[in-house]
Structures are given as C-alpha cells and as structure tokens.
Chain A
Amino acid sequence: MAEPIIPINQQDSFPILSVVGAQSADDVRILGGTVTKYWGPATTGVSGIPVTTDPAGHVFCASRYLNLEGCSVIGALISRFNAGAGGALPALQLWMQYRLDKATVMPTSNALGGGSINLDQCGMVAVHSGLFAFAATPGGLAGTEYALITWGPSTDVGISPPEISPTTLFSDVRFFISFSTNPVAAANLFSLSIWGSS
C-alpha cells in the first residue's frame, strides 16, 4: 500500500514552533491560513525593567528584535509596576522600528535630530496617535497598571507621523516605550507583551 498522501497545506493546522520563521515567539499558531504569534515579557526583553537613558537624553525601554513575519494586526500590552506610591508618569508613546538587515545597528534616539520626541528620524513609526499616560496610584499604594495599544494596517501611504500607517511584516522589528526626554523614576518597572496576527 502506498504511503498516505499528506494534504498540501495541512501544515496550516500545525503549530510551527520549531521553524525559523517562528523564532523568538512564545507561541505560534496557524489556523486556516491565519498566522498568530505571541511574545511574552521575557521574550520581548521588556520584563519588569526600569527605563534607560541614551546619550541623547531619551528615556525609554527597548525590546529585542522580534520576528513579526506574517503579522499585520497587532495588540501590545504595557504594564507599569511600582512597589511604592506610584506617581503619575509622563506620557509615553509606543514606537516600532525596523532593521534594514540583521547586521545594522539601529539608533535608539534622534542624536542627530531635534525636537522633543522626533524619533522618526531614526526609522521609527509611532504605532498610535496621541499619547498615553499612566496615572498616579491613589492612596500611595503599590500597584500594576496596564495600557493596551492595538493597531492594524491602514490605507494611508504612510511615512512616520502624522500619517501613521504601521504594518508589522518583517523579521527584525523592535518596539520602544518612549518617554522622550522626561525623567521616569527607577522605581517604575515596565513589561511588554505583543500579539500579532495576519
């Protein structure tokens, strides 16, 4: 008897955690041709960490490069934890940055640009309009707060703001939680999770 013939495309029903295209994700599923990937905090590299300041004075948390191949619709969840009295934070903006090739060392701030945020000079795209600010925790209590930021492809011909058109299709994409040049106390710890889908 001949070997059973494996249906073409049956791999759509298989998880593909082991293949190159799924590297770095915590979970990858392909259902009916729809790709879904998930990166938890440990994988994004933003996992309970304080902000850092680059030589140009920009305050931010930067993720690792993630392989977002196949994903054009995204949900990002940022958490902020403060073990003490968490005061209000300056407004943040989540940015996305591609790498031209894997050997490229991309800048983390606009060392050559001016202005307050202006990270589009570094190949970054803001993934949301407006800003988000974590509010103070009332009563001087410790606590964790969350910001959910979601986006999908648009019909805009997008360059960096003001015509935001983030898509997330590539194998080397990283994210910045940017507070521009505003100071953020080291007691504030941030985590980042990413969900992506085709």
Chain B
Amino acid sequence: MADAIIPINQQNSFPLVSVSGAQQATDVRIVGGMVVKYWGPAATGISGTLATDDGNGHICCVSNYLDMTGCSNAAAEVRRVSTVNPGPLAVTPFLLQMQYRLLKATVMPTSNLLGGAPPVPPSVTELHLLQCGMVPLQTGAGFAFAASPGTNGCTEYALIPWGPSAAGTSGANPSPVAIGSDVRFIISFGSIAVAATDSFSLSIWGSS
C-alpha cells in the first residue's frame, strides 16, 4: 500500500503551539489559512490582579508581552470583580492601551515618567502615555464599570474589539494593529485611584 498522502493545506488544521511564532498563547489555531490566537488571563498576566501605582501616579494593570505575530485584528475582554458587599461601586473610566517593544531587551516605560503633555485631544492628554509608545485601543474617554445594584460582590465585563484602519498616529487617530511579537496591554485608569476591592482580568483574542 502506498504511503498515505497528506492532504494539501493540512497544516491549517494543526495547532502551532510548539513553534516560535505561537509562543505564550493559550491556544493557537490555523483555520483556512487564518491565524487565530487566544491568551487567557493566566497568559496575559492580568488575572484577578489589582490596579497598581507605577510610581509616577498612573494607576494601571500591565500584561505580559504577547507574541501577536500574524494577528492584525483583536478583541480584548476586561473583567472586573468587586468584593464589596453590599453594593459594588462604580469604577473610574479606563483606556486599554497597546504598547510595542523596540527590541526584546528594551525596558518600556509604563507611564510618562519622562514625557510631558503631548498635543493630543484631552481624553488622551489626560493620560500622557503617548510618549511611552502606547496607542489607546478605543476612542473617547474610556470605559467605566458601573455600580452594581446587587447586594453581593459582582463580576462585570467590557469587550473591546479593534482592527487595522487606514492611517493613524498615536492618540488623535488610533489605528491599532497587533502584529508584533512583543505587544503588551495596559488597563490604564490615569491617575485616579481604584479601590483595592476591585480586581481585574484580561483575555485577548487575535486573528489575521
């Protein structure tokens, strides 16, 4: 009997977790020529963590660097868990920011420790993170978790999807793409305090 012939394009059905291009992801699939990657909270590093002060007064949660090679479209889900009982309170608005690394050895800043006020719209100027190579993934003043009417602690979710657009520089015209091998995400509350009773988790889906 002749050797089995391997179907054309069969590699599209293989998970590629073992190859360098798929490092770190919780799940990687190639379906019909399209790359799909998923990073759960444990992989992003934001998994039930508190917002911290970076030393420059910026309150944020910072993810691990993710290998988003092959992904230009993405969706992020931010989860907030409040342990306040009764009556979890509203949380100040946040912006999800994306940051690339110049080289793997580069230590990127998490806040504008050395930057000043950039000439960008107020909603972004407030955070001053453009000088740190960050791009906000949504326009406007950000997303705010509302107060919960319940009497117990609660879990709430924010979904933020995005894809490439025509053109854009940091801030005024966000045009996020997520194609690099060293991309991390920052849930930024600016300089506004967040109660220690609120913890956050981040999941990312990416696709070509």
Contacts and interface: CB of A to CB of B under 8 A. Distances in A.
Interface residues of A, number: 67
Question: Of residues B5, B70, B165, B179, which shows the largest number of chain A Cβ atoms within 10 Å of its Cβ?
Answer: B179
Given A147-B130, A193-B100, A137 B11 contact: no
A36 B166 contact: no
Contacts of B169: 94, 128-132, 147, 149
Contacts of B3: 1-2, 4-5
Contacts of B7: 7
B5 A5 contact: yes
A88 to B, nearest CB: 7
Contact of B11 (A12, A132, A138, A165): A12
B170 interface: yes
Interface in B162-208: 163-170, 172-173, 175-177, 179-181, 208
A74 B102 contact: no
A196 B36 CA distance: 17
A91 B180 CA distance: 26
B108 A152 contact: no
Interface of A: 1-2, 4-5, 7-10, 12-13, 15, 27, 29, 31-34, 36, 38, 40-41, 73-75, 77, 79, 86, 88, 91, 94, 126-138, 141, 143-156, 164-166, 191, 193, 195-198
Interface of B: 2-3, 5-12, 14, 16, 19-22, 30-31, 33-35, 69-70, 72, 98-103, 108-109, 113-119, 130-135, 163-170, 172-173, 175-177, 179-181, 208
